[in-house]
Structure 1
Amino acid sequence: MMKHVSSFFTKLFQACKLVPMLPVTVLAAIPVALLWNARPWKHFFWSVNPSIGQWIVIAMVVYTAFDSLKGMIEDIRKGYVGVDVLVIVAILSTIAVREYWAGWAIVLMVYSGEAIEEYAQDKAKGNLTSLMEAAPVIAHVVNLPGIGSNAGHINGSGRQNTGDSGFRSVGEGEIQQIQSSSSHFETVPVDKVRMGDVLVVLPGETVPVDGELLSDSATLDLSNINGEPVPREVFAGARVLSGAVNGSSTLTMRATQLARDSQYQRILGLVSSAQSSRATVVRVADLLAVPFTVVAFLIAGFAWICSGVPMRFAQVLVIATPCPLLIAAPVAYIAGTGRLAKSGILIKTQEVLETLGRVSHIFFDKTGTLTVKKPQVVRVDMRGGSHTNGMTGDDGLDEDVILLSAGVLETYSVHILAQGIVNAGQDAVTRLAERYADSGRRLPGSDWDGHDIEHPVVKGVSEDSGKGLSGMVNGRMIRIGRYAYVTEGEHGVPTNPADVFTTPLAADEMATFVSINGRLAARIVMKDIPRANAKESLERLRSLGVRRLSMLTGDKAASANIIAKEVGISDVRAELFPEDKLAAVKNASKEEAPEQPWWDRLIQKLTGESITRSITMMVGDGVNDAPVLASADIGMAITDGTSTAASESAQVVIMNDDIACVPRAIAISRRTKRIMLQSVVVGLSLSIIAMLCAAFNLIPVVVGAFLQEAIDVVSILWALTALIDKD
Structure 2
Amino acid sequence: MATSRSITLGSAVRRYPLVALTVVAGVVGLALNWTAASAVVPWLLSLYALAVAAREAVSMVGKLLKREFGLDVLAVTAIVATVVVGEYWASIVIVLMLTGGEALEDFAAGRAKRELNALLGRVPQTAHQVTASGDIADVPATEVAVGDRLVVRPSEIVPVDAVLVSAATSVDESSLTGESMPVEKVTGDLLLSGSVNGPEAVTVQASARASDSQYQRIVQLVTEAAASKAPIVRLADRYAVPFTFVSIGLAAIAWWISGDPVRFAEVLVVATPCPLLIAAPVAFMAGMSSASTYGVVVKNAGTLEVLARAKTVVFDKTGTLTSGRPVVVEVRPEGALSADELLALVAAAEQYSSHVLAASLVEAAKQRSLDLPEVADAREVATHGVQARVGARLVTVGKPAFVAQQAPALTRIDLASGEAAVYVSVDDQYAGAIVLRDAVRPEAARTLTELGELGIQNTLMLTGDVEETARKVADELHISEVHAECLPEDKVRLVHATSPHPVVMVGDGVNDAPVLGAADVGIAMGAKGSTAASESADVVILVDDLHRVVSAVQVSQRTVQIALQSIWIGIAISIGLMLFAMTGALPAVVGAALQEVVDLVTILNALRALSLKRRLRGSPRSTAERVQAPS
Report SS of the residue matched to 1:546.
Answer: coil
Q: Which residue of the partner structure matches residue 85 of structure 1? A: 76
Give the distance between the partners of 1:159 and 1:153, measured in 2 at CA. Answer: 14
Task: Give yes or no for contact 2:424–2:433 (8 Å, CA) kept in 1.
Answer: yes
1:298 to 231, 246, 249: 249
Q: Which residue of the partner structure matches residue 48 of structure 1? A: none
The 5 A counterparts of 1:256-655 are 279-282=232-235, 285-286=236-237, 288-341=239-292, 343-346=294-297, 351-384=302-335, 387-389=338-340, 399-409=343-353, 411=354, 413-414=355-356, 417-424=357-364, 431-432=370-371, 452=374, 457-459=377-379, 461-463=380-382, 465=383, 468-473=384-389, 477-490=394-407, 493=409, 496-497=411-412, 510-551=420-461, 554-555=465-466, 557=468, 560-561=471-472, 564-565=475-476, 569-572=477-480, 576-578=484-486, 582=490, 586=494, 589=497, 613-622=500-509, 633-643=520-530, 646-647=533-534, 652-655=539-542
1:94 to 61, 68, 85: 85
Give the distance between the partners of 2:440 and 2:136, measured in 1 at CA. Answer: 49
Q: Alpha carbons of 1:708 and 1:585: their partners in 2 closer, same or farther (altered >3 Å)?
A: same
2:586 to 699, 702, 714: 699
Q: Which residue of the partner structure matches residue 623 of structure 2? A: none
Q: Alpha carbons of 1:538 and 1:109: their partners in 2 closer, same or farther (altered >3 Å)?
A: same
Q: Which residue of the partner structure matches residue 112 of structure 2? A: 128
Q: Which residue of the partner structure matches residue 144 of structure 1? A: none
Q: Alpha carbons of 1:579 and 1:302: their partners in 2 closer, same or farther (altered >3 Å)?
A: same
Give the distance between the partners of 1:650 and 1:713, measured in 2 at CA. Answer: 35
Structure 1 residue 557 displacement after superposition:
4.8
Task: Give yes or no for contact 1:382–1:521 (8 Å, CA) kept in 2.
Answer: yes
Task: Give yes or no for contact 2:423–2:434 (8 Å, CA) kept in 1.
Answer: yes
Q: Alpha carbons of 1:496 and 1:153: their partners in 2 closer, same or farther (altered >3 Å)?
A: closer
Task: Give yes or no for contact 1:551–1:564 (8 Å, CA) kept in 2.
Answer: no
Give the distance between the partners of 1:408 and 1:112, measured in 2 at CA. Answer: 64
Structure 1 residue 691 displacement after superposition:
1.5
What letter is aligned with 2:133? I
Give the distance between the partners of 1:156 and 1:387, measured in 2 at CA. Answer: 51
Give the distance between the partners of 1:69 and 1:575, measured in 2 at CA. Answer: 54
1:60 corresponds to 2:62: no
Give the distance between the partners of 2:567 and 2:509, measured in 1 at CA. Answer: 41
Task: Give yes or no for contact 2:347–2:358 (8 Å, CA) kept in 1.
Answer: no
Q: Alpha carbons of 1:152 and 1:586: their partners in 2 closer, same or farther (altered >3 Å)?
A: closer
Give the distance between the partners of 2:317 and 2:325, measured in 1 at CA. Answer: 12
Report SS of the residue matched to 2:586.
Answer: coil
Structure 1 residue 640 displacement after superposition:
2.4
Structure 1 residue 544 displacement after superposition:
0.9
What letter is aligned with 1:471? Q
Structure 1 residue 513 displacement after superposition:
0.8
Q: Alpha carbons of 1:169 and 1:514: their partners in 2 closer, same or farther (altered >3 Å)?
A: closer
Q: Which residue of the partner structure matches residue 46 of structure 1? A: none
1:154 to 120, 127, 133: 133
Q: Alpha carbons of 1:22 and 1:616: their partners in 2 closer, same or farther (altered >3 Å)?
A: closer
Structure 1 residue 670 displacement after superposition:
1.9
What letter is aligned with 1:483? P
Q: Alpha carbons of 1:668 and 1:517: their partners in 2 closer, same or farther (altered >3 Å)?
A: same
Deviations 1:93-147 (A, max 9, x none): 324xxxxxx44x325534654686478558855852753896999xxxxxxxxxx
Task: Give yes or no for contact 2:388–2:394 (8 Å, CA) kept in 1.
Answer: yes
Report SS of the residue matched to 2:325.
Answer: coil
Q: Alpha carbons of 1:385 and 1:361: their partners in 2 closer, same or farther (altered >3 Å)?
A: farther
Deviations 1:220-276 (A, max 9, x none): xxxxxxxxxxxxxxxx999xxxxxxxxxxxxxxxxxx9xxxx9xxx9xx99xx99xx
What letter is aligned with 2:90? I
Task: Give yes or no for contact 1:369–1:621 (8 Å, CA) kept in 2.
Answer: yes
Structure 1 residue 497 displacement after superposition:
4.4
Count of equivalent residues: 533
Q: Alpha carbons of 1:576 and 1:169: their partners in 2 closer, same or farther (altered >3 Å)?
A: closer
Scaled by the length of structure 2, the TM-score of the pair is: 0.67
Report SS of the residue matched to 1:699.
Answer: coil
Q: Alpha carbons of 1:683 and 1:289: their partners in 2 closer, same or farther (altered >3 Å)?
A: same
Give the distance between the partners of 2:567 and 2:582, measured in 1 at CA. Answer: 22
Q: Which residue of the partner structure matches residue 658 of structure 1? A: 545
Structure 1 residue 332 displacement after superposition:
3.6
Task: Give yes or no for contact 1:578–1:624 (8 Å, CA) kept in 2.
Answer: no
Scaled by the length of structure 1, the TM-score of the pair is: 0.59
Query: Higher mean Cα deviation, 110-119 or 544-553?
Result: 110-119
What 5-or-longer segments of structure 2 have no aligned partner? 122-127, 154-159, 161-198, 202-209, 617-631
Q: Alpha carbons of 1:291 and 1:480: their partners in 2 closer, same or farther (altered >3 Å)?
A: same
Give the distance between the partners of 2:102 and 2:515, measured in 1 at CA. Answer: 40
Task: Give yes or no for contact 2:349–2:386 (8 Å, CA) kept in 1.
Answer: no
What 5-or-longer segments of structure 1 have no aligned partner? 1-5, 36-51, 96-101, 138-147, 171-194, 196-235, 239-256, 393-397, 434-447, 499-503, 592-612
Give the distance between the partners of 2:22 and 2:98, measured in 1 at CA. Answer: 10
Q: Which residue of the partner structure matches residue 20 of structure 2? A: 19
Report SS of the residue matched to 1:319.
Answer: coil
Q: Alpha carbons of 1:560 and 1:301: their partners in 2 closer, same or farther (altered >3 Å)?
A: closer
Structure 1 residue 278 displacement after superposition:
6.4
Q: Alpha carbons of 1:706 and 1:26: their partners in 2 closer, same or farther (altered >3 Å)?
A: farther
Structure 1 residue 320 displacement after superposition:
1.6
Q: Percent identity?
A: 30
Q: Alpha carbons of 1:330 and 1:659: their partners in 2 closer, same or farther (altered >3 Å)?
A: same
Q: Alpha carbons of 1:309 and 1:363: their partners in 2 closer, same or farther (altered >3 Å)?
A: closer
Task: Give yes or no for contact 1:64–1:107 (8 Å, CA) kept in 2.
Answer: yes
Q: Which residue of the partner structure matches residue 501 of structure 1? A: none
The alignment yields a C-alpha RMSD, in angstroms, of 5.3
Q: Which residue of the partner structure matches residue 185 of structure 2? A: none
Q: Greater Rg, structure 1 or structure 2? A: 1
Report SS of the residue matched to 1:372.
Answer: strand
Q: Which residue of the partner structure matches residue 175 of structure 2? A: none
Report SS of the residue matched to 1:512.
Answer: strand
Q: Which residue of the partner structure matches residue 210 of structure 1? A: none
Give the distance between the partners of 1:169 and 1:628, measured in 2 at CA. Answer: 29
Give the distance between the partners of 2:150 and 2:564, measured in 1 at CA. Answer: 58
Give the distance between the partners of 1:384 and 1:357, measured in 2 at CA. Answer: 58
What letter is aligned with 1:700? P
